[in-house]
Amino acid sequence: MKEERKEEYIYAGIPTFMGGEFIRENEIKNYDVVFLGVPCDYGASYRLGAKYAPRQLREYSFWDRIYGEELYDLDHSECLKTNDFKIADLGDVYVNPTHPNENQDAISEKTNAIARDSFPVICGGDHSITYGSFRGVYRAMKEKYSDYEIGIIHFDAHLDLEDEYLNMPEVWHGNVFRKLIEDGYLKGENLYSIGPRGVVGRQWVDYAKEKGVNIFTSNKVKEVGIVNVIKEIQEKNENKKIKFYITFDIDCLDVSYVFGTGTPQCNGLTPYEADEALRNLGKFDICGFDIVELNPKLDDSHSSFVIACELIYHFLAFGYIKN
């Protein structure tokens, strides 16, 4: 029998995700939420360092617990009760930097194992990890729910619909959704991108239109409100059998809030807008979540991780509804 864990200061103890038990794969079925780190950044084309994010995220999530606690929300002037989840940490995927395709297979195997019996929360790493992560979850969901479609709600400053680039791996952080579409794992019409902005290659927008990708720019969010964006996505899917995977690139937030990311852009979402979005995802049938492109080497204060952990906490505590 395991000794009940005492509450500790954030600087004390061995940091696991949200203070959860460190487990092996055969223990996944005993937990509601299982965290997996993917420490790789060879898929990033600019400013490396995202491979250090899983370790840093564990440290800053260590204070958070989700056990049915009663709280008060000052922002919305209401009483809240969190979900009550048993959370565990499966450790990290073993990454071989010189074998990107093998790594995608390893990521898929791990996320598939989690998704069969629990809810996966994955931390990259650069955004290329979403290819393997989504593929693993997709396969697990199709085994259980063959008549369901699997879509993606994608928070990002970029579309990530580019093509191959120089000598980058076949899947890199700029083409991950194009690859998922072209390899048959994702329909363009089931991809909802929230937060892209700036001036981009026309060919990428043409590709998005051709495939039916749904784009809600940062300006669109500010014009209609993030809650209305989420409502629109819900209305488009209310008559469909569909599950959604959430991928959250931290650079969807404005650079004034988040320094710790490799490809920041101005005019982004505020943390409040992102928080409102994640807390309203209970309207959807969610099958997995990842957060990517955090880079501790670019933010000495680590405030980017404080923000990221608060967003994940609010998603798991209030936004995710276990089916």
Q: Look at residue 7 and tell me if it is in a domain.
A: no
Instruction: Please choose, from the candidates 248, 291, 275, the residue with its C-alpha nearest in 3D space to the C-alpha of residue 122.
Output: 291
pLDDT 10s digits, 300-316: 999 999 999 999 999 99
| pLDDT of 2 above 70 | no
Say how far apart CA 122 and CA 79 lie, in whole Å. Answer: 29
Residues 6+ apart with CB under 8 A from 148: 141, 142, 241, 242, 243
Q: Which two tokens stand for residue 53?
A: 């994010």
H/E run at residue 207: helix 202-211
Q: Which pLDDT band holds residue 49 (cuts at 50, 70, 90)?
A: very high
Q: Look at residue 5 and tell me if it is in a domain.
A: no
Mean pLDDT, to the nearest integer, of 68-76? 91
> Would you give the distance in Å from CA 108 to the centre of its chain?
15
Q: Look at residue 4 and tell me if it is in a domain.
A: no
Q: Which pLDDT band holds residue 11 (cuts at 50, 70, 90)?
A: confident
- Average pLDDT over the chain reads 95
On the CB side of 301, how many CA atoms lie within 13 Å of its CA? 7
CB 255 within 8 A of CB 206: no
Q: Could you tell me the CATH number of the domain that includes residue 150?
A: 3.40.800.10
Say how far apart CA 20 and CA 28 lie, in whole Å. Answer: 12
Range in 102-106, 167-171, 208-212 with the lowest mean pLDDT: 167-171
Q: Which pLDDT band holds residue 95 (cuts at 50, 70, 90)?
A: very high
pLDDT 10s digits, 121-170: 999 999 999 999 999 999 999 999 999 999 999 999 999 999 888 888 99
Indicate the number of domains in the chain. Answer: 1
Residue span of the structural domain in which 151 resides: 17-319
Q: Look at residue 188 and tell me if it is in a domain.
A: yes
Report the C-alpha dihedral over residues 216, 217, 218, 221, rounded to 10 degrees. -30
Residue 92 phi/psi, 5-degree rounding, is: -115, 150
Mean pLDDT, to the nearest integer, of 246-266? 97
Q: Which pLDDT band holds residue 1 (cuts at 50, 70, 90)?
A: very low
Q: Look at residue 10 and tell me if it is in a domain.
A: no
> Would you give the distance in Å from CA 208 to the centre of its chain?
21
Say how far apart CA 120 and CA 25 lie, in whole Å. Answer: 12
10 Å Cβ neighbour count for 92? 19
Q: What is the pLDDT of residue 225?
A: 99
Q: Look at residue 228 and tell me if it is in a domain.
A: yes
Q: What is the pLDDT of residue 260?
A: 97
Q: Look at residue 53 and tell me if it is in a domain.
A: yes
Positions of E strands within the chain: 21-22, 33-38, 70-73, 78-81, 87-92, 119-124, 149-155, 191-194, 214-216, 242-249, 286-292
pLDDT 10s digits, 183-197: 999 999 999 999 999
Q: Look at residue 66 and tell me if it is in a domain.
A: yes
In sequence order, what are the beta bridge partners of 289?
Answer: 121, 246
| pLDDT of 281 above 60 | yes
